[in-house]
Each structure stands twice: as structure tokens, then as C-alpha cells.
Copies of this chain bind each other. A is one copy, B any other.
């Protein structure tokens, strides 16, 4: 039985508590939040769970094995370090930290102490993303040509991070899971429509060594909700629409073959392949349930989580570079290669 303390019961906290509570070998023993009304909701649903306004009470509780941190990004580092130093395994909401330096230090601390540090890159545990990973790793799409994602809706405006850190992080974690290589440079643009608050619309291009390009469009101020990812490959192309009730993934046997005429004009001829479409049935399960299951498993088995601190650090580095580029109207910014893991 793994005992869990949860810090933060705002937007995502209730989902975390519910999913950990449903695991037969885990128990949510403490929840902290600064707002009393939220704690009342915890008590109404989970009368056996202790609640309080102090995060430190949770972190210091010797009966807690692991701490789940679902507080604002600027608190991730301090709370995460305190939890690790208190000997707790840590589940950190995305992004891992507000800076890559903080992320690296959290990662080092966890490594040194032999504690699990897992970042909640929930999408990595979605059946659709795992299917996409299986297909790409098996070469079903051929060489990847582009990753293009639109992730927009109305809300939820954040006050301490811009929309890239809130929404693009999902795509960066999916790309981190799918692709063999990491971006070598990024270019980002965007705008804050509310003066004094972070950018609420942003566009992020990622460049690679290979013939591959990535692009993410995120927006908190869109009239409609869209969650659609295109994955182009030389053999096939894939569309992932996360809002579809069924048929979330569609694989198209479509593409082009280009040839040049042999004469001196070398005229380009393009042939278009328009083949069948196929949609694999996906397991119906909540990705967060699978992630919670994984966290408890890696603690029990003293293993390394899939979305570990290294993944968290890689993504924070990209977000840092993207914010830097965004401040300079798209000026390209180099990013360090993926560290050998």
C-alpha cells in the first residue's frame, strides 16, 4: 500500500485524488490547499482523508510515501525539493519546474536519493498516443515529416505562465515520446491580449536535424475547442482528434511521389497516392488512471517512470527557448541536443 499526500486541490487536484483513490494499492491520506472551501469538498467525498492548509504538514508526515504536487508552476521547485529532501517520491504536475536550472536540480536530488520523480505528462499514458508511438516506432508511417498540433479553447487563463507552458507542454511531451530525436532550434511567436498578463496565443515551430518540422498552435482565447494533431510520414499520414468520441486516430494511406524529368528542364512531376483510411480501436480508459497506476508501480518496483525528470527537463528547456524566441518575434533559438539517458 502506497500512501499519497496531495498538494493543491484546484482544477486538476480532484482528478488526481479520484484516480489515486481508485487504485487498490494506494491511499490518499492527506490533501492540502490554501482554500478552505476546497478542503471541505475533499472531506465531503473522502471522509477518511486528512486535510489542512499547510503543504509542509503533508511533506513532513512520516506516514506519507509519495507527494503529488498540483500547485502553481512557480511553487514546483520549492515544494518538490522539500518533498524529496523529506524522502518522498514525487509526482509533479507539468511542467516540471519554472526554469531548466530548477528542473535539473530536482532531477539530481531525486537521482541522488533514489526516489521516483515523475512528471504528469498525462498524454504519454493515453491509449491514442501509445498507439501513435507503436505505429511510428514500427515504421508504419515511414520517415516522419511533420508534427502539427492545434490545441485551443476558451480558458483557462493562467497568471504565472504563458499558454506555451500550459498547453504546448502536452505536445512537447507527446513529441518527446514519439520522435527519435529532439529539436535543435525553435522559433515562437505569440501575443498577450490582456495587458500585464502572459501570452494567451502562441505558435511554436521546432527544427530538427532530419527532414522534419514540428509546429504547435495554442490559444486560450478561441471560440471553439480543437485538439487535433497531424503526423505526416513518407509512408502514411495520421490524424489524432482527441475530441472524437470514437475513431480518435485515423491513418491515411496517402502521400506523394516526386520525380524529375530526365531532360534538361528537369520538370518536377508529382504523383499523389490517395489510398484507404484506417482507424484502430483504442482501449477506453482514462489516461490519468494509467499514469497513477504507473507511478505506484514504479515506486513499488523501485523502477524509473516513463515520464521521468529527464523528460521533464528536456521539455522545460524547449519551453525556455520558446519563450525566449517569442519575446523576439520568432528569432530562432538553438536548443541543446537531447541528453543521453
Residues of A within 8 A of B (CB): 47-48, 145-146, 148, 150, 152, 154-157, 159, 185, 187, 189-191, 193-194, 196-197, 201, 203, 205, 207, 211-213, 215, 217, 219, 221-225, 230, 232, 237-239, 243, 245-247, 250, 252-256, 258, 260, 267-268, 270, 272, 274-281, 325, 328-332
Contacts and interface: CB of A to CB of B under 8 A. Distances in A.
A227 B222 CA distance: 17
10 contacts: A150-B150, A154-B274, A157-B270, A191-B213, A193-B232, A205-B329, A222-B237, A223-B250, A225-B245, A246-B277
Nearest to A230: B222
Given A205-B189, A256-B221, A274 B281 contact: yes
A281 B253 CA distance: 9
A213 B197 contact: no
B157 A193 contact: no
Contacts of A211: 191, 193
B329 A185 contact: yes
B267 A223 contact: no
A159 B213 contact: no
Contacts of A189: 187, 205, 207, 213, 215, 330
Nearest to A194: B258
Given A222-B237, A245-B243, A205 B279 contact: no
Nearest to A238: B223
Contacts of A212: 191
